[in-house]
Every structure is written in C-alpha cells, then in structure tokens.
Amino acid sequence: MALLSGPRVPVAADGSDTDTFIDTTDLASGKLYVYGPKASGAWPATPRFVGHSQLHTGRDAPTIYTGQVGDFALVNGIIYGPKVSAGTFAGPFTASAGIAQVETLTVLGTIGASGAGNATAIITGARVVGSPLTISFAVANNDTATLVAGKLRTALAVAAITNFYTIGGSGAVVSLTAIAPFPADDSTLLIALDNGTCTGLTAATSVNTTAGGTHQTAAGTAQVETATVVGTITGAGNATVVLTSSGMTGSPKTFSVPVAVGDLPSVTAAKIRNALEADGVAGDRFYVNTVGATVVLTRKVAAANDATLNLAIDNGTCTGLTTAASSANTTAGVAAIT
C-alpha cells in the first residue's frame, strides 16, 4: 500500500488497489481530505475523513495514545494515519513518488505565406479529461515551428491537461510531464499535431521520452529473534546474557542478570527482559517481550536482516541453567523501500 497526495480528488489512473490518497487542496488551512483505500480500481466518491490534522514524528510506531482523531504520524519514512475514532492509526503507508512520465512533440514545418488558419492538436491519455481531446489554435502566415510550438503550449493550458501534467519545452519542442502522484507508464499518452485549416505543417506525433512508473514501496519487516531459557536456578547468582547485533553500540554487550534459587525458566526470562529493556542501547534498538520462558527481541525499525543478531544465555555465577549459546531468527528482517 502507498500514500499518494495532490491538490485534487483522485482519479482512476492514480495509484493501485489498497492505496490511500490525500487531497491537499486546503492544506494551507490544515484540512486534509482522505480517500481510500482504493479497491477494484476505483476510489470512494467521498473522503472517509475530513478535518484539521497534525503530523506527529518519532522513532516508534504511533499508539492509541498518540495524537487526536484525524492526525498522522511519520516514523522513519513510514506514514501512519489518519487516526480513527477507535483510537488506532490506518496504515502503515509508504510515501509514493515514482517517476514522472514525459511525452515530447517536435513541431515540423513552417506556415506558408498564405497558410494562416487553425492547427489541430489531439491529446490522448488515461489522465486527460475528455480524451481524446481536440484543441484548435490559430497560427499566422510565416509562423516558424518555434512560433507554432509556443502557441501550442499556450493552447494546452486547460484544466483537463494542467491538473495532471506540466506543460513545457522550448524552441520547436512541446512536452507534457506528469504531476505527482505518478501512475504507471501510460502507453496511450500522445500529442498529435497536424494542419487543420492552416497549411505548412508536417503531421507529427509525440514520443515517450521518459517512461512513467509508480515507485515500488514497502514498509519492511521488523526482524524477530527468540531465545528460550532452559533450567531452574539451583544456585543464586548472576546469569550471563550476551546480546550481539551488527551496528549496535558496544556489541557484543554482556548483561549480568541477578537470579534466585528456585527461579523457573519463565521467571528468569522475565528478569532478562527487564535487564534488556532498562539498557539504553538495547532498549532503543529492540522491543523486548517474553512468552513463557522465551525472550523475544523485535527490531523497532525495519532493516535488512542482521545475520549476527544473537542472544546467548548461560550461567555466570549462578547454577541451574542449560547453556543456550544461539538464539533463533524467527522472522527475517527486511528493509523498508521508500
């Protein structure tokens, strides 16, 4: 899923199924109109939320306590929102930019000494309102290709085109450049120019000089590592826990965790969890939980899988634990694509 935006309501050519679109027409007043998700190739006719919103930033995903209904959150390039009445945030979404398609026409010919009249341009495309759209524009005797191109650029400046394309070019060249959000390449986009009631032009059609495309995005997958405590403490002391993670400050980092006689595996696991959570380095990098006797580490930020990630558990000055030198990578990490 992706989050798209623009100063208008979405059209069928925008985005893909599951995407969300924000109409930023009233952005200056802080009001956002949210459409989506897109389904079966169609956008909802009306926005599912209209209101004044705030954008919250931070290192962790938003919770039910973050912000107010209608707010958004931006965390490491991932967008959440809007917050709905149930207290949860929609998403996550990745901001989708993509590649702007560019279509280019070169005007050929010169209007003859008595060739004045109207040239005819036909613009075809999935995003062109009224496609194929015919535009007639006046040309004068002896107009060069450069003058005709300038007049065509002026004639193309209608909402059916400018809502979705920027008109550009110089000299005898006329171009249409897609405005974000960018859809997949439109093979039907075309500018055709010919004589209408004028004479002197050579019929010409545009070429796709830059193929458009949606930016492939993904929210990524947080790596999950699990280590299971085995054994009941028979001699009080400190269990030794070693956390290794590529790029983590101080890795491998050793923790001495006090345990008591009779501590069951689940109790020891909880004490290990508390020690890791209390550490600024480990706590910043991982969510730490326990499921029975299993300690679960979850990366707070989706990143490429860390093959070095490991949580080793052993007796230090205590006795009763079964050495567990290696933890298990239960969910491989995948970096977000933005």
Question: Which tens digit of pLDDT belongs to each residue from 124-181?
Answer: 998 888 999 999 999 999 999 999 999 999 999 998 999 889 999 999 999 999 886 6
Rounded to two decimals, what is the model's pTM? 0.48
**Do 102-210 and 224-331 come out as alike in CATH topology?**
yes
Contacts of residue 111, defined as CB under 8 A and 6 or more positions apart, other chains included, come to 139, 140, 141, 142, 143, 144, 148, 198, 199, 200, 201
Paired with 296 in beta bridges are: 226, 289
Question: Which tens digit of pLDDT belongs to each residue from 15-71?
Answer: 778 777 878 777 666 566 778 788 888 888 887 666 566 777 766 677 777 888 777
Nearest to 128 by CA among 99, 173, 167: 167
Instruction: Sketch the domain layout of the chain as residue ranges.
Output: 2-95, 102-210, 224-331
Question: Which tens digit of pLDDT belongs to each residue from 306-330?
Answer: 999 999 999 999 999 999 999 999 9
- Which pLDDT belongs to residue 81? 73
Nearest to 178 by CA among 197, 192, 163, 198: 163
What CATH topology corresponds to 224-331? Immunoglobulin-like (2.60.40)
CATH class of the structural domain 102-210: mainly beta
pLDDT at 87 over 90: no
